[in-house]
Structure 1
């Protein structure tokens, strides 16, 4: 990997970990996520308008952003559920272990393969994820690990990782046709509509207001750093 893409991905991991930490600290994960998406679309509206005015729309754009919005919406739901049922130190590494699924999906969808170094890296990541869950090097520790891998937090975290692999592949396909920032912003708007509708339907207005009052600063930060993180990754994919 060249230096610039590597640096961009490394910076994005720090940013991503930070906004996930903020989500974990929130009172209601689903409401917090919905409000952060509203903040995100508001914060980045001006550059989005600029790119809209300088982009000629193609017939396939709607399909590209709709599929991305669907996959990412599932990711946010699974991630919120994982943090609801599990600890940050366990859920976060699992939810980011899309590398478990990505090589297989990439092989069958776009024909990409990995070399021996990549395979070894995947094995090391899998071992690291398991070690994080291992409480002791004993029979009881292994039994505990087995039970942890079957709890709700772990299951939802793995589902989140699967959706990350899915939208990463879709992103690589989509940005061949669309300007990366515009692609990201438009499907974020769709996610915001879906998640906000879900929140209004299933939560009381008083709960939404309370979450905003308690975590206003964190919500705005997540809105910014979510886009910032993802834009870095999209740039890395194009370099």
Structure 2
């Protein structure tokens, strides 16, 4: 992976960690996500109307629509998870996609699984297990299974599945984009993001207003509009940059390196928010980062 790709992914990680912290610490994570979505919709419409990059190559629309639907459900699912559990607990689970993306990418996108990739998968699985470990081996596995089945904790695992899904879909869409417009990588990436965001956040807000009184949503929006603006800009930076990089790198490596944000968020939750089980969660976050390093060990195509 090229130095430019890694730099862009790490910058994306900072943006991703920022909007997740803002979302989890909101008065209502779902409502903040809705406001953030409205801001992104406005920016997207402005960008697509003025940039001249809204022309979509043949075959890409289906991936945009699928990605938009997956992202819409992902935002709602992640917000729900943050309403029920600590960020240092939810985030490592929700961002454990490197365990699964390489396997599906091997089947569907013809990407290979190297020894370092398989080692990384084991490390990240151990990290997820450590989050549920309380000093007893059997009880730890029981805790993990109970968390998967729990009506609140299931949202973190549903979010994980959605991350895997939209990562594969976005890679397929960006491959078609760069094939059709090889000299417009940045425009391709942000056009794809803004188009799927229009779909995803429209669905997200339709759901919110159908399920909750407009007065309740509006109260949070008026109180946290500044937080929502920052979260919107961070979200655009996070996903827009990833869509650019996906045109040149294997999705397995991109998703893996991107999980560096796990340690950022875990440290914030433990050190700043004083969440419990600090050493255990920092250890889990560190193992995820080590898995990221192993996953990115094999070289791939580079940004020009």
TM-score by length of 2: 0.72
- The within-5 A match list for 1:112-131 is 112-131=111-130
- The 5-angstrom pairing of residues 144-159 of structure 1 reads 144-159=143-158
| Aligned residues of 1:180 and 1:231 also touching (Cα < 8 A) | yes
Asked if structure 2 preserves the Cα contact closer than 8 Å seen for 1:23 and 1:33, the reply is yes
- Per the TM alignment, residue 28 of structure 1 is displaced from its structure 2 partner at its CA by 2.3
* Corresponding residue for residue 181 of structure 1: 190
Counterpart-to-counterpart distance in 2, 1:140 and 1:30? 33
1:111-134 Cα deviation digits (max 9, x unpaired): 212100111112111112221332
8 Å CA contact 2:148–2:157 kept in 1: the answer is no
Once structures 1 and 2 are overlaid, which stretch shifts more, 61-70 or 179-188?
61-70
Distance 1:138 1:37 in 2: 42
Q: How far off its partner does 1:146 sit?
A: 4.7
* Contact kept? 2:35, 2:221, Cα under 8 Å: yes
* Residue segments in structure 2 that go unaligned for 5+ positions in a row: 178-187, 248-302
1:199 to 208, 218, 222: 208
- Name the CA shift for 1:3/1:83 in 2 (closer, same or farther; >3 Å): same
> Following superposition, which runs of at least 4 residues in structure 1 exceed 4 angstroms of deviation?
137-146
Moved more, 135-144 or 223-232: 135-144
Deviation at 1:195, TM superposition (A): 1.5
Shift of 1:173: 0.9
Query: Which is bigger in relative contact order (C-alpha 8 A, separation at least 6)?
Result: 1
Report the Cα offset of residue 46 of structure 1.
Answer: 3.4
Shift of 1:3: 1.7
Measured after TM superposition, the shift of residue 68 of structure 1 is 0.8
CA contact (8 A) 2:132 2:140 kept: no
- Pairs aligned (count): 238
Verify the 8 A CA contact 1:65 1:187 in the aligned structure 2. Answer: yes
- Report what 2:21 is aligned to: 21
Deviations 1:50-96 (A, max 9, x none): 33x24544443432211111111121122122112221111011011
2:282 aligned residue: none
Structure 1 position 185, deviation (Å): 0.3
Inter-CA distance 162–46: structure 2 relative to 1 (3 Å threshold) = same
Counterpart Cα distance in 1 of 2:156 and 2:123 = 19
**1-side partners of 2:140 and 2:65: how far apart?**
44
TM-score, normalised via structure 1 length:
0.90
Which residue in the other structure is 1:74 paired with?
A: 73
- In structure 1, the gaps of 5 or more residues are none
Question: Could you tell me how far apart the structure 1 residues matched to 2:170 and 2:137 are?
Answer: 42
